[in-house]
């Protein structure tokens, strides 16, 4: 059963808070992509890498904006299609 969009966005935010332990956001990078494998390569194959399948590009950008406001670094890469994945990495 799919989650409601607001519920899923809240769940992704909660998962990221748990991964980052809710502190030191400045050491994390967050971004959106259409290809998480390629994007991981662009980041140099970091060992700490988490990505989430989102319902829409708007949902991905909303979560990204939320965490960038908390201090996470953003990344603009070479996405070719709709960014339907959100990722975080420590790099």
* 27-64 pLDDT, tens digit each: 999 999 988 999 999 999 999 999 999 988 889 889 99
HSE-CB for 88 with a 13 A CA cutoff: 21
* Neighbouring C-beta atoms of residue 36, cutoff 10 Å: 19
Q: Global pTM?
A: 0.85
In the chain, % of residues over pLDDT 90? 56
- On the question of pLDDT at 1 being above 90, the answer is no
How high is the pLDDT of residue 4? 54
């Amino acid at each position: 059963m799919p989650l409601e969009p607001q519920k899923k966005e809240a769940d992704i935010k909660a998962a990221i808070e748990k991964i980052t332990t809710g502190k030191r956001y400045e050491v994390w990078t967050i971004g959106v992509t259409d290809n998480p494998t390629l994007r991981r390569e662009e980041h140099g194959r970091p060992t700490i890498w988490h990505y989430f399948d989102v319902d829409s590009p708007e949902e991905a950008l909303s979560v990204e904006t939320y965490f960038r406001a908390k201090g996470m670094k953003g990344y603009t890469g070479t996405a070719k299609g709709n960014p339907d994945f959100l990722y975080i990495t420590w790099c």
